[in-house]
Amino acid sequence: MIIIDIRSPKPIYEQIKDNIKHLIVTGALSEGEKLPSVRELAQSTSINPNTIQKAYKDLESEGFIYSVVGRGSFVAAPPGKKDSERIESLMSSIRSGVRELHYLGLTRQEILEFIDKTITANKEGKTHD
């Protein structure tokens, strides 16, 4: 299920991407599973089809989905453990976030508790925002 917060400062296409990534990462969408067409998702969410298309295009370029002309978009196979470039990019983002949280006054313990809660929520298929 796609949940959009129209009051969020995050662009709608990014919210769509985040929702679909979450569904894939938590296993709610499986490898090879067909996603709703751009038109179907646009109608069910009342979002402009161009916005949906941008989210799908980004998800494809990031390796989460793939498209087959005339058939639709599908969940891609999970990347191999050796996807070092992507892992390093994500680790860099985490390092940056931790530095910023520390700068904003959070203690080491508060940051670790947040990370632990996030991991637990991810394992349970929940979001932790």
Same domain, 21 and 68: yes
Range of the domain at 103: 84-123
Determine, yes or no, domain membership for 45: yes
Classify residue 1: in a domain, yes or no: no
Instruction: Summarize pLDDT for 81-115 with one digit per residue, the tens.
Output: 556 777 888 899 999 999 999 999 999 999 999 99
Q: Give how many domains the chain has, as a whole number.
A: 2
Radius of gyration of the chain (CA): 17
Q: pTM of whole model > 0.75?
A: no
For 18, the token pair is: 């985040």
CA dist., res. 30 & res. 33, Å (int): 5
- Mean pLDDT, all residues of the chain: 89
70 with 93, same domain? no
> What is the per-residue pLDDT for 64?
94
Residues 99 and 70 in one domain: no
Structure-model confidence comparison of residues 129 and 119, the more confident one: 119
Q: Is the pLDDT of residue 77 over 80?
A: yes
> Which residues, listed in sequence order, are joined to residue 75 by a DSSP beta bridge?
65
| 19 and 71 belong to one structural domain | yes
